Amino acid sequence: MFDATALDRNIDPCVDFYQFSCGNWIKNNPIPPDQSSWGRFNQLSEHNRMVLHDILEKAEKVTPNRSSNEQKIGDYYASCMDEATINQKGVAVLNRDFDLIAALKSKEELPALLGHLHRERINTLFGFDSTPDFKDAKMMIAEADQGGLSLPDKDYYLKTDAKSVEQQKQYVQHVTNMLKLLGDSPEKAAAEADAVMKIETALAKGSMDRVARREPSNVYHKMSAAEWQALTPAFSWPKYLTDVGAPAVTSLNVAVPDFFKALETELKDVSLDDLKTYFRWHVVHAAAATNVLPDAFVNENFEFFSKTLRGAKELQARWKRCVAGVNGDLGEALGEVYVEKNFPPEAKERTLEMVHALEEALRQDITTLPWMTEATKKQALIKLEAIRNKIGYPNKWRDYSSLTIVRGDALGNSLRSNEFEAQRELNKIGKPRDTQEWGMTPPTVNAYYDPTENDINFPAGILQPPFYDFKADDGVNFGGIGAVIGHELTHGFDDEGRQFDKEGNLKDWWTPEDAKAFEERAQCLVKEYDSFVAVDDVHVNGKLTLGENTADNGGLRIADMALQSALEKKPQEKDEKFDGFTEEQRLFLGWGQVWCQNQTDQISRLLALTNEHSPGKNRVNGVVRNMPEFRRAWGCKSGAPMVPENACRVW
Ligand SMILES: [Zn+2]
């Protein structure tokens, strides 16, 4: 939804379009104390949260005709809200895990313990899950991957600048505090925290960095179970597979083989006592993050992970954390009610119309692309034609009937939900992929493209203002949801997505000369975004954000093409002005205002290191500077900051 009061009319749009679009919004919308960033996405999420809150307050009332799903979401929520019982129960439910850890007698028993912890989805030492086979995407296979860290990225352990060293000290202090809450003496807890830091630092050293992981071939190493075993002779995988509850595995993807070699060394070097400490820390850390431990644990977790690392000032109200808990653990049971009340069938139809308009624009764009040969264009169009559209919510809802939710047992509910989810994922190994499944819950304010399914997924949560307003004019709708749809479609053709074919298989369909031309054009975006400053001396990482920036640039371009086609059908609107702006100007304003945001310095720093999306300001200015359409629409003169000499263009 275009908001004229958000504009800063003192700024020349050709000088800083983001500031022009959002200046007043930024001034008038400070970050609420319980958040670390605040933008239009967050505003909409807050709205959805209120809707979910209403649903849960009804479902928590015990009535004779509650459905099975209503019982689950209602009792989960009520248990999470029952702070007195949670405080009174303490950490007793975790004793099952603590006892198993304490009973470890030798490292030979590690596979059984890891199997148990991973069934509860406690992130320790490495990751194990099911995944589509990159080379045969119709099938699900097992995957072993790096894991076992608590800080947001391996860099947090390894960087030696003053800020990083300070955060490492603060992290060790946090681990100390948590272990003290479990009853350890201050001296013992401090020594234990050092041991945790040492183990996690070794795992970080063995991990592949985020930029390297964006290259699919870097994380695809299919091997036999015997070859996997040879990487870590000290750790019995057959034993682990039995205890984690996986079906028989004869071959799998070992995403980062070097990580498992480093793990082998680490398992030999570190003492059993230090490993026990590391596991104990992860058990309490995982539980504290779910907000169903006593206040002292939740507050200490907030102090480090939300306040120190992200810059939030206050813990979120309990109901907000509990709504998030239900959405995380029973998302499709909650989402089914949400959709019934908030997503009429017309909304799905209208979104599909919009999707078809954007697909048509991308078709035109590919067809007229100056740098691509006919052979590759033909393949690109075949891939575009095959993209499936998933809009709003899944056709088939998840079946939670085997999951027991008990009123008054908040932590138990959370653990059982984790076990349910772990088993659900492991059950997929060796079976055909269920392409009806969704990776986001219906109320989520977000969307995604999945390269291994070649589909776009738009949850109901994002299909409303400010992204899509049935009552608004085409300009703002194409600049909002239109550009977001364009963004997701373009992901099929970004540096990562372009390596997958129409079936979702990792398979090269490019001529070598077109691949080279693509790389050169993508490199222009890498350089452009590398030059942007996220906060202080921290720059945006052009390589980490390349896929998203490619999608933003392609997305807004094809949204503009789709708008032009729509306007051709109603010429009377083409030159008409709304709020003093033409439809094309409103497209750019729609895009600009989607990204209005305020962020703490702390979260800006964290996101620059870990997030594949650029900051809002760069998502706006970084794109419009590359578009001659923008220049024309706003009458910008060459040499203006929004009209650089070397504009980039991929799609
Ligand atoms: Zn994206």
3-class SS letters over 198-263:
HHHHHHHHHCCCHHHHCCHHHHCCEEEHHHHHHHCCCCCHHHHHHHHCCCCCCEEEECCHHHHHHH
Q: Helix (H, G, I), strand (E, B), or coil: what is residue 622?
A: helix
d(CA 555, CA 558): 5
pLDDT of residue 470: 77
Specify the range with the lowest mean pLDDT, choosing from 142-156, 259-273, 344-358, 512-526. Answer: 344-358
Query: Token match 């949204």: residue?
Result: 559
Q: Rounded to whole angstroms, how far apart are CA atoms 64 and 89?
A: 28
d(CA 52, CA 57): 9
Give me ligand 1 centre to Cα 303, in Å: 31
Catalytic residue among 60, 332, 359, 552: 552
Confidence band of 272 (pLDDT split at 50, 70, 90): very high
Measured between alpha carbons, how far is 539 from 421 in angstroms, rounded to an integer? 37
Distance 52 CA to ligand 1 centre (A): 26
- Residue-wise pLDDT for 501-519, tens only, equals 999 999 999 999 999 999 9
pLDDT above 80 (res 574) = no
CB atoms within 10 A of CB 357: 21
Instruction: Work out the number of other CB atoms within 10 angstroms of the CB of residue 39.
Output: 22
Please state the three-class secondary structure of 127-142 as a single string. EEEEEEECCEEEEEEE
> In this predicted model, what pLDDT tens digit does every residue of 154-163 receive, in sequence order?
999 999 999 9
Alpha carbon of 526 to ligand 1 centroid (Å) = 16
The helix/strand count (H/E) of the chain reads as 29, 13
565 has pLDDT over 70: yes
Q: According to the model, what pLDDT value does residue 579 have? A: 87
Share of the chain above pLDDT 90, in %: 94
Asked whether residue 1 carries a pLDDT value surpassing 70, the answer given is: no
* pLDDT exceeds 80 at position 187: yes
* Cα–ligand 1 centroid distance for 164 (angstroms): 28
Q: Is the pLDDT of residue 469 over 90?
A: no
Q: Can you list the positions of beta strands (E) in 516-596?
A: 533-535, 538-539, 577-578, 581-582
Q: What percent of the chain is modeled with pLDDT above 70?
A: 100
- Segment 244-259 shows an average pLDDT of 97
How far is ligand 1, taken at its centre, from the CA of residue 391, in Å?
A: 16
* Catalytic annotation present for 488: yes
Note whether 30 and 14 are within 8 A (CB). Answer: no
| CA 183 / ligand 1 centre spacing (Å) | 45
**Has residue 576 got a pLDDT over 90?**
no
254 Cα–ligand 1 center, Å: 26
Rounded distance, CA 342 to CA 336, Å? 10
Residue of 75, 192, 488, 501 marked catalytic: 488
Please say whether the beta carbons of 510 and 382 come within 8 A. Answer: no
Q: Give the mean model confidence (pLDDT) for residues 5-32.
A: 98
- Chain-centroid distance, C-alpha 216: 18
625-641 average pLDDT score: 97
pLDDT, tens digit, for every residue of 282-320?
999 999 998 899 999 999 999 999 999 999 999 999 999
> Is pLDDT above 80 for 424?
yes
CA of 195 relative to ligand 1 center, distance in Å: 38
Quote the pLDDT of residue 573.
76
- C-alpha of residue 282 to centroid of ligand 1, in Å: 31
Q: Rounded to the nearest whole angstrom, what is the distance from the C-alpha of residue 260 to the centroid of ligand 1?
A: 30
Question: Across residues 491-504, what is the average pLDDT?
Answer: 97
Q: Is 166 a catalytic residue?
A: no
